[in-house]
Amino acid sequence: MIIVLKGGATEEDVRRIEERIKADGLSAHVSKGVERTIIGVVGDERKLDPETFEGLDCVDKVMRVLSPYKLVSRDFKKEDTVIEVMGKKIGGGSIALFAGPCSVEGREMMVEIGKRVAASGATFIRGGAYKPRTSPYAFQGMGEDGLKCLADAREATGLPVATELMDPRDIDVVAKYADLIQIGARNMQNFRLLTEVGKLDKPIILKRGISATILEWLMSAEYIASEGNTRIILCERGIRTYEQATRNTFDVSAIPVLKALTHLPVIADPSHAAGKASLVEPLAAAAIAAGADGLMIEVHNQPEKALSDGPQSLRPDTFDAVVSRLKRVAEAVDRRLGTA
C-alpha cells in the first residue's frame, strides 16, 4: 500500500501514520520528495483497511499494491487449480460440460435428460431443486425430492451432479446428494452462505452476481477459500447492463481477465447470459475461444413446458448437434470439450 500525503502534511502527520501502520505489525517506509511525502507500507497490506488513511485530512490518496484477495490469486498459486470429481476434471486442458434442466421437475425427466446429455458428451449433470425465483408465486423447486431425482440421474449415467444451495439451512440435505454445490448469482454476496460452504469438502460453483464486478466476485471466492475450501469454480453467467436484447450481457472478457488474476477454473453459462436458446451456441463458442474451462448449458426434453427457463433451454437433439460443432471450436484452440 502506498500512502501519498498532501503538500501541507507535517512531520506530526507522518509520525501518526507510521504509528498506525506499526500497530498492525507492519513497517513504514517514508520517502520525502521536494513537494510530497510518500509512505510505503512494508508487509502484508491486506491487514490494513485503506479507509483508515483515506479519511485523514493530510492524505491525498491511498493505492493498493497487492490485490485484496489472497488465497484465490494467481500470485499466491501460479499453477491452474484442477478440480476432480468422480474422475471428471474441471480445469487443466479439457473443457468440462455441465448440462441439464434449469429445474428438476421429476425423476423420469431428470434421468431421461441425464442420459441424453451424457450420450452427447456431458461430463456433469445440472438441475436445480431449490430455485431462486423472482416471484414468490413461481415454481420454487422440488426440494429434497428433486435432489433424489438428481441422485437417480447420477446412478443412471455415472456422472456427478451439480445443484444450487440457496440457504444455509439446507446445507446438510444438499450436501448429502450433490457432488458439486452451486451458489447462484443472487447469492454471490450472501457472505454467511459463502462461509458455510467454505467449510464443506465439496467443490463449489460460484456464479457471478447479477451486477458484480470481477473484484467483488473474487472477494466472494476468497470468503469460501478462507474457510478452507479452495475447490472453487467461477461461472460467468452474464451481467445486467442497459441492453435489453438479451436476458443478460455475456461478459466474455471476464474469462481471460480471471485466468490472469486467479488460479481457479473459470466456466461459462451461455444459457442464463443469453436467455434465448438460439444464442447459446455462439456464446458458448466465444467462451471456448476465450479460454473457458467449462460450459454450463440448460437442456430440457420439452422446453415449451419447462417450469423455469424454457426459452433458453436446448432440446436434447439440438444440444447434441451444438456440442458436436463446439467440439471443433475446442479443437481449434487445442482443447477437448466434454468426453470429446
Q: Which is nearer to ligand PEP, 184 or 338 (CB)?
A: 184
Select from 10-18, 167-175, 179-187, 282-290 the region that touches ligand PEP (CB under 6 A): 179-187
Distance CA 120, CA 99 (A): 10
269 makes contact with Mn ion (CB under 5 A): no
Distance CA 238, CA 20 (A): 42
Give the nearest distance from C-beta 297 to ligand PEP in angstroms: 10
| Chosen from Mn ion, ligand PEP, none, partner binding at 206 (C-beta under 5 to 8 Å by type) | none
Amino acid at 155: E
184 makes contact with ligand PEP (CB under 6 A): yes
Q: Which is nearer to ligand PEP, 50 or 168 (CB)?
A: 168
Give the nearest distance from C-beta 298 to Mn ion in angstroms: 6
Give the nearest distance from C-beta 316 to ligand PEP in angstroms: 18
272 makes contact with ligand PEP (CB under 6 A): yes
> 201-205 long-range CB contacts below 8 Å, 24 or more apart?
201/229, 202/175, 202/178, 202/229, 202/231, 203/83, 203/85, 203/90, 203/179, 203/231, 203/232, 203/233, 204/180, 204/229, 204/231, 204/232, 204/233, 205/162, 205/180, 205/181, 205/233, 205/235, 205/267, 205/296
102 makes contact with Mn ion (CB under 5 A): yes
Q: What residues form DSSP beta bridges with 37? A: 32
Q: Please list every residue from 42 through 61 that binds ligand PEP, using CB under 6 A.
A: none
Q: Please list every residue from 126 through 155 that binds ligand PEP, using CB under 6 A.
A: 128, 132
In the block, cell 449415467 appears at 157
Give the nearest distance from C-beta 202 to ligand PEP in angstroms: 17
Select from 28-36, 184-192, 312-320, 325-333 the region that touches ligand PEP (CB under 6 A): 184-192
309 makes contact with Mn ion (CB under 5 A): yes
Select from 2-10, 166-174, 181-189, 239-247 the region that touches ligand PEP (CB under 6 A): 181-189
Q: Please list every residue from 227 through 246 that binds ligand PEP, using CB under 6 A.
A: 237
Give the nearest distance from C-beta 313 to Mn ion in angstroms: 8
| Contacting residues toward ligand PEP, per CB under 6 A | 102, 128, 132, 184-186, 207, 237, 269, 272
| Contacting residues toward Mn ion, per CB under 5 A | 102, 309
